[in-house]
Structure 1
Amino acid sequence: MAISSRHVLVTGGAGFIGSHLTDRLLADGAAVTVVDDCSNGDRGRVPDDANFLEADLTDPDALKGHLDDIDLVVHLAASKHVDTDRPHGQFDDNTRMTRNILEAMADAGVTDIAYTSSSTVYGEAPRPTPEDYAPLEPISAYGASKLADEGLLSARAHSHELTVWNFRFANVVGPRLRGAVIPDFIEKLQDDSEHLTILGDGRQEKSYLHVEDCLDAMLHVIEHADDAMNTYNLGTRTTTSVDRIATIVAEELGVDPEREYTGGERGWTGDVPKMRLSIEKLSALGWEPERSSDEAVRQSTREIIDELR
C-alpha cells in the first residue's frame, strides 16, 4: 500500500524528525495521527490537519482505542539523552514504550511498524559499519535500549507476522534541531563571538545526514523492502569532525573565535567518538543521499541560524 493512501501514526511527531516526517506525509496525501507527550517535542510543530494525541507512551493504556484505523506506525518517541544520569530509568522507559506500542498494535490488528533505532547499537565498531556487524556492544544505556527494542520487534516480526522497517540512524541534522552540536555552537557564538568551548578534543568524527535525506531514505525503504524484519543503516558515505563543524558554523556566522577544549576523546559519557555507517545495503535498494556530511552540516547551520535570529 502506498504511503499516500495510509493512515500513519507517528510517535514523537512533535519532535525534530517526527515533525518533519508529519509534514512530509501530509504533503504526500497521507492521513497522520501524532502521539507525543511534549516532554521533548513542541505542540506548535504539529500541523492543524494532523490529528494530535498528547499521551505518555510508557502508560500501557495510552493508545487504547487510537489504533483502530491505523495502517502504519512510525515509532520515533524515545528518551534520547545518551549521557543521562538515570540510565536504568531511560532503558526502562524506552523499552516499555515499544512494548506498549506492540501490544496496542496486536490488539488493533496493525501489522506494519517503522522503528527509528540508532548507530549507537554498534558501540565502538570498525568503520564503515555494516548492518550485519557483530557482536553488537553498545556503550550507553540509550544504545542498549535501542538494541533491546530491535530484539522485541524482531521477535514479533518472525513469530506474529509483523512487518518491521528498522532504521539505524547516523546523526540527523536540519531545521528545528536543538540540543546537538550545531545549534549548541550557534547559540554559544551568538552569545560570545570570540570564544567557543568544544566538548572533548574536537577530533570526534561522525556522519551527518540532513533530515530531508533521512525522510527520503525512510520512505524509500518502506516502499521497497518487504521482508519481515528490514534493518537498514541511514547515513552518508562521508564524515565531519567536531572541529570542522566549528569551522563551518564560524564561517556562516562570520566570526573567528578562539577555541577551548574540555579534553578527552569523548564529548560525554557514552559518546562514540568515531562513527561511519556502511550504506551499501541502502544503495543496493536504489537510494543515495543527496548531500555529503559536510553539505548537510552547512545547510543545517544556515537553516538553524535563520530560525534563531
Structure 2
Amino acid sequence: MDLTDRRLLVTGGAGLVGSELAAQLAADNEVVVVDDLSNGVRESVPDDCAFVEGDLTERETLEDAITGDLDAVFHCAAADKYVDTDDPREQFEVNGSMTYDLVERMEEVGVSRLAFTSSSTVYGEAPRPTPEDYAPLEPISIYGAAKLSEESLLSVYAHSHDFTVWNFRFANVVGPRFGAGVVPDFVEKLDENPETLTILGDGRQQKSYMHVAECSEAIRAVVEGTPKGGMHTYNLGTRTTTSVDRIADIVSDEMGLDPDYEYTGGDRGWTGDVPKMRLSIEKLSTHWEPALSSDDSVREAARSLVARLDER
C-alpha cells in the first residue's frame, strides 16, 4: 500500500508509538488521531493531525473517527501492559472489545486495511531468537493474552471478511516520553534520589529494545512493501539485547551519576515478566533493517528524557 496522499487514522495517537507514527505518516498524508488520553498526552499529538478525543469502546467516538473516506487504520490504542496487577480482567476485556468494535465499524463503512501493534508477549517464554511462526503461543501475562486474542480476531477478519491486516509484534519500544517502561522509570527514580536506584528483579533480565522512531519506520516499510489481502505478521525489534543492569548503567551515565543499585530479587521484575526475549527479524529485514542496537536505542531514549527533565 502506497503511503502517499492517503487519509489515515491512528488510534492511540497521543501515546509513544502512535504519536511518532502519526508524525511520520503526516509528512505525506492526511492523518486523524483518536485517543482518550488515559495513557496518552495531548501535547504529543502532531500539530498537523486532526484530533478526536474519545473512547473507542463508545459508539459516538467510533462514528466520529472511522469514516468511509479512510484508506487505512493504524491501531495503536491499548490498555497499558503495566496495569496487569491492578485490574487484569478490565485490561483483557477493554483491549478485546475495543478492537472488536473497531473492526465492526470499519467493515460497516467499507474500510478494510488495518495495521495492528501487537507484542512479543504473545510468545511467552520462547526459544530465542523467536520467529513469527513459532508455536505454540503461550503468553504468561494478561497483556500477552489480550494481544493474542486480538490477533486471533484480526485473523478472522483477514481470512473471512476480506481485510488486509499487518500484525506487528513489538520488542520493547523506547523513546523521548515519560510514562511506563524501564528507561523513564530509572530516569525518574534517579532524579528523585541520585544516590540509590531500585531495580526490579535481579537486573539480569535480557531483552531487545527498539527506538520508537525506528519502530515507526519499520511499520511504514512493511505496509508499503507487502501485497493487499490476508494477514501479514512481522516481528519488530533489533538484532541485539541488553540487560536491565546495562540500562541502569546507561541512564546513570547520561545523568552524570554513580548510584548504588539495590534489587527486589528474583529472575523477573513482575508477575508475567518474560526475563529473556529476542525476536528474529529475518522476515522484517526483507523490507527494512534497524540502524540502532538495543544499547543505542536505550541511550537515545535516556538522553532525550534527561534533556526534558527541566521542562517538567
1:162-173 alignment runs, 5 A limit: 162-173=163-174
| Residue matched to 2:2 | 2
1:242 to 220, 223, 244: 244
Are 2:205 and 2:275, in contact at CA under 8 Å, matched by a contact in 1? yes
| Residue matched to 1:52 | 51
Are 1:31 and 1:50, in contact at CA under 8 Å, matched by a contact in 2? yes
Q: Does 1:228 align with 2:227?
A: no
| Residue matched to 1:273 | 275
| Residue matched to 1:138 | 139
Q: Which moved more, 1:84-93 or 1:157-166?
A: 84-93
User: 1:85 Cα shift?
Assistant: 2.1
| Residue matched to 2:256 | 254
1:91-110 alignment runs, 5 A limit: 91-110=92-111
TM-score, scaled relative to structure 1 = 0.97
User: 1:62 Cα shift?
Assistant: 2.5
Tell me the distance in 1 between the aligned counterparts of 2:180 and 2:142: 19
Q: Which moved more, 1:240-249 or 1:172-181?
A: 172-181
Are 2:177 and 2:184, in contact at CA under 8 Å, matched by a contact in 1? no
User: 1:164 Cα shift?
Assistant: 0.3
Are 1:201 and 1:265, in contact at CA under 8 Å, matched by a contact in 2? yes
| Residue matched to 1:71 | 71
Deviation track 1:22-54 (CA, whole Å, cap 9, x = no partner) reads 111112x21011110001111122233211111
- RMSD, matched Cα: 1.2
| Residue matched to 1:12 | 12
User: 1:178 Cα shift?
Assistant: 1.9
* Counterpart code for 1:168: R
| Residue matched to 1:297 | 298
Tell me the distance in 2 between the aligned counterparts of 1:107 and 1:207: 39
User: 1:211 Cα shift?
Assistant: 0.8
The secondary structure found in structure 2 opposite 1:256 is coil
Deviation track 1:117-161 (CA, whole Å, cap 9, x = no partner) reads 000000011110000000000011110010000001001100111
Deviation track 1:145-200 (CA, whole Å, cap 9, x = no partner) reads 10000001001100111000000000011112422111111111112111110010
User: 1:84 Cα shift?
Assistant: 3.2
Q: Aligned residues: percent identity?
A: 61
* Counterpart code for 2:106: M
Runs of 4 or more above 4 Å deviation: none
Tell me the distance in 1 between the aligned counterparts of 2:169 and 2:108: 27
| Residue matched to 1:22 | 22
User: 1:65 Cα shift?
Assistant: 5.0
Tell me the distance in 1 between the aligned counterparts of 2:206 and 2:16: 22
TM-score, scaled relative to structure 2 = 0.96
Are 1:84 and 1:90, in contact at CA under 8 Å, matched by a contact in 2? no
| Residue matched to 1:175 | 176
* Counterpart code for 1:50: C
Are 1:233 and 1:282, in contact at CA under 8 Å, matched by a contact in 2? yes
Q: Which moved more, 1:212-221 or 1:184-193?
A: 184-193
Tell me the distance in 2 between the aligned counterparts of 1:65 and 1:106: 15
User: 1:286 Cα shift?
Assistant: 2.9
